[in-house]
């Protein structure tokens, strides 16, 4: 597998949905570990991972690197490529929620409130990892439909007929 060179602070487009779902599964495990074992410091690791993935895709994310370089290549599953911009938006939502959880749990000492926010991350990441339902992607799509996100951000997202043509 050859990597396409891209600037450090860019997000891949397209994204392998298999890898995205595996990263989401890793996020679920880390969030549950933080909550179940009452380890609020893990929220900082989760927050770092989301921010790193928003800025650079898997490049600066240890979880992203593990999934894209170690786990996904060892699976006997064909890659399924999806547009990058909605996935980046979803990572941004995860970044906002996990940074909020980190500030609540570590900065303000409100562990319970931080864990509630992490619980929301668990729900979203579980939907992605288990059912391939990306809440961030759905919100991105709705924002495109109402004109908040311009069509130019993701031409493929705006023209669904292109995806149907690829399948046929």
List, for residues 40-75, the tens digit of each pLDDT value.
999 999 999 999 999 999 999 999 999 999 999 999
What total number of domains does the chain contain? 1
CB atoms within 10 A of CB 10: 13
CA distance 94 to 78: 26
Question: CA nearest 137: which of 77, 91, 74?
Answer: 91
pLDDT at 157: 83
Determine, yes or no, domain membership for 148: no
- Could you tell me if 80 and 87 are in contact, meaning their C-beta atoms sit under 8 angstroms apart? no
55: containing domain: 15-134
Question: Does residue 78 lie within any of the structural domains?
Answer: yes
Within a domain: residue 149? no
pLDDT value, residue 164? 46
Q: Measured between alpha carbons, how far is 124 from 68 in angstroms, rounded to an integer?
A: 21
Helix (H) or strand (E) holding 15: strand 15-16
Domain assignment present for 130: yes
Q: How does pLDDT run across 64-123, given as a tens digit for each residue?
A: 999 999 999 999 999 999 999 999 999 999 999 999 999 999 999 999 999 999 999 999
Residue 139 lies in a domain: no
Contacts of 93 (CB under 8 A, 6+ apart): 124, 135, 136, 139
- Classify residue 162: in a domain, yes or no: no
In a domain, 2, yes or no: no
The answer to whether residue 1 scores a pLDDT higher than 50 is no
152 occurs within a structural domain: no
Q: What is the DSSP string of 116-154?
A: HHHHHHHHHHHHHHHH---HHHHHHHHHHHTTSS-GGG-
The tens digit of pLDDT for each residue in 135-144 reads 999 999 999 9
Over residues 14-47, the pLDDT tens digits come to 999 999 999 999 999 999 999 999 999 999 999 9
- 3-class secondary structure, 82: strand
pTM of the model: 0.88
Torsion sign, CA atoms 141, 20, 96, 117: positive
């Amino acid at each position: 597998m050859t990597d396409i060179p891209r600037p450090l602070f860019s997000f891949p487009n397209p994204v392998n949905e298999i890898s995205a779902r595996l990263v989401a599964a890793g996020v679920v495990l880390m969030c549950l570990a933080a909550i179940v074992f009452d380890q609020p410091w893990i929220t900082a690791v989760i927050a770092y991972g989301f921010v790193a993935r928003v800025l650079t895709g898997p490049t600066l994310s240890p979880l992203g690197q593990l999934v894209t370089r170690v786990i996904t290549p060892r699976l006997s599953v064909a890659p399924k490529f999806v547009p990058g911009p909605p996935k980046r938006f979803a990572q941004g939502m995860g970044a906002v929620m996990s940074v909020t959880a980190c500030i609540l749990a570590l900065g303000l000492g409100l562990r319970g409130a931080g864990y509630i926010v992490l619980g929301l991350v668990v729900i979203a990441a579980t939907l992605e990892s288990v059912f391939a339902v990306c809440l961030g992607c759905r919100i991105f799509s709705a924002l495109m439909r109402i004109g908040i996100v311009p069509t130019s951000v993701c031409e493929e997202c705006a023209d669904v007929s292109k995806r149907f043509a690829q399948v046929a």
